Amino acid sequence: MNTQELKMPIKGVPFEHQQRAFDFACDIFGLSDFKQKSSGVGLLMEMGCGKTLVAIAVIGILYQLGLITRVIIAAPLSLLGVWESEFEAFADFDYSLTVLKGTSAKKKEAIAKIPKTGLQVIVVNYESAWRLEKELLAFGAECVCCDEGHKIKEGRTAQSKGMHHLGDRVNYKLLLTGTLITNRELDVFSEYRFLDPRVYGMSFYAFRNRYFDMTGYGNHVPVFRKYMLDDFLKKMHSIAFRTTKKECLDLPAITEEVRTIELETKAMKMYKELEEESYTELKNGEVTAPNILTKLLRLSQVTGGHLTDDEKDTHVVSTAKLAALEDIIDAADAENQKIVVMARFVPELNDIQALLEKKKIGYAVVWGGVKDRAEEVRRFQVDEDCRVFVGQIAAAGLGLTLTSASTMVFYSLDYSMSNFDQARARIHRVGQKENCHYIYLIAKGTVDRKVIRSLRNKIDLAKTLVDDF
pLDDT tens digit string along 372-400?
888 999 999 999 999 999 999 988 877 78
CATH code for the domain in which residue 44 is found:
3.40.50.10810
pLDDT of 463 over the 80 cut: no
pLDDT of 3 over the 50 cut: no
Does residue 357 share a domain with residue 211? no
Does residue 188 share a domain with residue 39? yes
Which one of 45-54, 110-119, 416-425 scores highest in mean pLDDT?
110-119
pLDDT of 270 over the 50 cut: yes
Does residue 345 share a domain with residue 239? no
- Residue 420 belongs to a domain: yes
- Residue 424 belongs to a domain: yes
- Residue 212 belongs to a domain: yes
Does residue 232 share a domain with residue 327? no
CATH code for the domain in which residue 360 is found:
3.40.50.300
Does residue 345 share a domain with residue 219? no
- Residue 236 belongs to a domain: yes
Does residue 322 share a domain with residue 238? no
CB of 19 closer than 8 Å to CB of 8: yes
Does residue 452 share a domain with residue 324? yes
- Residue 279 belongs to a domain: no
pLDDT of 2 over the 70 cut: no
The beta-strand segments (E) located in 300-452 are: 306-308, 314-316, 339-343, 362-366, 386-392, 407-410, 436-443
Does residue 360 share a domain with residue 237? no
Residue 433's CB is within 10 A of a number of other CB atoms, namely 9
Higher-pLDDT residue of 291 and 371 is 371
CA 116 to chain centre: 30
> What pLDDT is recorded for position 466?
55
Pairing of strands 212-215, 221-224: antiparallel
pLDDT of 181 over the 70 cut: no
- pLDDT, the chain, mean: 90
The total domain count for the chain is 2
Provide mean pLDDT across the span 437-452.
93
Give me the phi and psi of 77, to 5 degrees please: -50, -40
What domain range is 329 assigned to? Answer: 254-261+318-468
pLDDT of 185 over the 60 cut: yes
- Residue 304 belongs to a domain: no
pTM, two decimal places: 0.81
Angstrom CA distances, 137 to 90, 124, 154, 182, 345, stand at 28, 13, 22, 29, 45
Angstrom CA distances, 337 to 182, 241, 392, stand at 11, 19, 21
Does residue 343 share a domain with residue 209? no
Q: Tens digit of pLDDT for each residue in 26-58?
A: 999 999 888 999 999 999 998 888 999 999 999
Does residue 216 share a domain with residue 111? yes
- Residue 299 belongs to a domain: no
CB of 124 closer than 8 Å to CB of 132: yes
- Residue 268 belongs to a domain: no
What band does 150 get if pLDDT is binned at 50, 70 and 90?
confident
